[in-house]
Amino acid sequence: MKVFATRVIPAAGSALLKKAGYELTEWDQKRDLTTDELIRYSSEHDALLVAAADKIDQHFLEHNRHLKVISLLSTGYDHVDVAAATRMKIPVGNTQSVRNNPTADTAFLLMLAVSRKAFYLHKTIVNGQWTFFDPASNLGIELQGKTLGILGMGKIGLEMARRCAGAYNMRIIYHNRGSNPVAEKELGAQKVAFNTLLEQSDVLSVHTALTPETAGIFNKAAFEKMKRSAIFVNTARGGIHCEADLIAALQNGVIWGAGLDVTNPEPMLAGNPLLNMPNVAVLPHVGSATTETRAAMSVLAAKNIIAAFNGERLPQPVNPEIYGTGQ
C-alpha cells in the first residue's frame, strides 16, 4: 500500500506507517501542492495524508475515487467536500481530540497578549522606542472577573473556558446550536443568543468550525454590537470573520483589540494593517504547534490510515455514516 503525505510528518507517525509495511512518500518542498500536482500524486497512491491548506473538492475526488482513505492532519475539515467523499464511500479521518489543549492555550495566549498589547510593545523595544517610564502609556486592560463569550463551546471552547474561569474567575457565556452540559455544570456557563454573546462579552473567543452558517458571521454589524472595550479572539478559521470589517472596527474604536491565529487568506501578507496595530496580536496558524501535539497528530493520522487499510472503522472518523450501523 502506498501513502502520499502532502507534508513531511513528524517521525512518530511516519515510523508507524513504515512499521506497518506501507510505502510513504512525503512532499518535502516548502510550498503547497498545486491542484494538478495533488491529483497526479494521489492517482499513484492508495491513501492521502493532507494538511488544512490542501483543497479536497469534488473535482479532486472524481479523479481519485480509488483512494482507500483521506487522513487529515487537522481537526477542521472545511477544506474537504466530505459529502462527496461519503457518496464515493471514501473514509475521511481527522485529528480532533489530540489538539484541544494547545489550541486553547493559543487562544488564551492571544487574549492575554492583546489585553496587555504584548506583541506591539515587544516591537517598540526592537525598534529602540523604550526610552523612559511614562505612567500613562502602554496601558492594557485586566481580565479578572470579566465575561468570556465563546462561539462554539465544543472541545477547544471548553478548554479555553476552563482556563479563563480558573485563571481570572471569568463569567462564561456561550452560543452553540445545541448546548454543552459539561460547560454548564462545571463552569456555570450560560447559553445565550448570538446577539447577547456579542453584547455582553468582554472577550469573545471563536471556536466553531467554518461552515456556510459561520462564514463571515463576524462582520460590520456583529462588531458594532460588541462592547467598545471588547477583545475578539479567533483560533478557529479566518473565514469566520470578515477581515476588512475587523480592520475598520479596530481603526474606528468599535472594539478594543483582536488576537488571531487564523487569517483569510493564509499566509497573511506582511503589509497587512493588522500587523501594525497596538491592540492586535497575530500568529501564523500555530494552534497545535507543540512537539508533543504534532507527534500525537501524526500518530492519529497514521492510525486512521492503518485502520482503513485493514478494513476497520477509523479511530477518528469525520464521515462515520459510510459504515452504516454495522461498525
Ligand X SMILES: NC(=O)C1=CN([C@@H]2O[C@H](COP(=O)(O)OP(=O)(O)OC[C@H]3O[C@@H](n4cnc5c(N)ncnc54)[C@H](OP(=O)(O)O)[C@@H]3O)[C@@H](O)[C@H]2O)C=CC1
Cβ pair 69, 309 in contact under 8 A: yes
CA-CA distance, 37 to 69, in Å (whole number)? 18
CA-CA distance, 256 to 116, in Å (whole number)? 11
Residue 114-153 contact track with ligand X, rule CB under 6 A, x = bound:
-------------------------------------xxx
The verdict on 258 binding ligand X (CB under 6 A) reads no
The verdict on 288 binding ligand X (CB under 6 A) reads yes
Which listed residue (237, 241, 294, 303) binds ligand X by CB under 6 A? 237
Residue whose Cβ sits closest to ligand O=CC(=O)O: 76
Backbone dihedral angles phi then psi of residue 320, each to the nearest 5 degrees: -60, -15
For the beta carbon of residue 155, count every other beta carbon within 10 angstroms. Answer: 17
Residue 196 amino acid letter: T
Nearer to ligand O=CC(=O)O, 188 or 284 (CB): 284
Cβ pair 279, 257 in contact under 8 A: yes
For 172, counting Cβ atoms within 10 Å of its Cβ (0-12 exposed, 13-18 middle, 19+ buried), the class is buried
The verdict on 171 binding ligand X (CB under 6 A) reads no
The verdict on 116 binding ligand O=CC(=O)O (CB under 6 A) reads no
Catalytic residue among 266, 292, 312, 321: 266
Number of residues that bind ligand O=CC(=O)O (CB under 6 A): 7
266 is catalytic: yes
237 is catalytic: yes
CA-CA distance, 151 to 225, in Å (whole number)? 15
The verdict on 52 binding ligand O=CC(=O)O (CB under 6 A) reads yes
40 is catalytic: no
Cβ pair 205, 151 in contact under 8 A: yes
Which listed residue (6, 75, 147, 214) binds ligand O=CC(=O)O by CB under 6 A? 75
Write the DSSP string, 266-288.
SSPPTT-GGGG-TTEEE-SS-TT
Nearer to ligand X, 236 or 300 (CB): 236
Q: Is 32 helix (H, G, I), strand (E, B) or coil?
A: coil
Which listed residue (68, 76, 79, 86) binds ligand O=CC(=O)O by CB under 6 A? 76
Q: Crossing angle of helices 100-115/155-168, nearest 10°?
A: 50
Which listed residue (115, 201, 205, 214) binds ligand X by CB under 6 A? 214
Instruction: Please choose which of ligand O=CC(=O)O, ligand X, none residue 207 contacts, taking the beta carbon within 5 to 8 angstroms, the exact cut-off set by kind.
Output: ligand X
- Those residues with Cβ within 8 angstroms of residue 225's Cβ, 6 or more apart along the chain or in another chain: 195, 198, 199
Instruction: Please choose which of ligand O=CC(=O)O, ligand X, none residue 52 contacts, taking the beta carbon within 5 to 8 angstroms, the exact cut-off set by kind.
Output: ligand O=CC(=O)O
How would you label 59-82 residue by residue, b for 16+ Cβ within 10 Å and e otherwise?
A: ebbebbeebbbbbbbbbbbbbbbb
Nearer to ligand O=CC(=O)O, 96 or 279 (CB): 96
User: What residues are annotated to the active site?
Assistant: 237, 266, 285
- Which parts of this chain interact with ligand O=CC(=O)O (CB under 6 A)? 52, 74-76, 99, 287-288
- Which parts of this chain interact with ligand X (CB under 6 A)? 75-76, 96, 99, 103, 151-157, 175-178, 207-211, 213-214, 235-237, 261-262, 285, 287-288
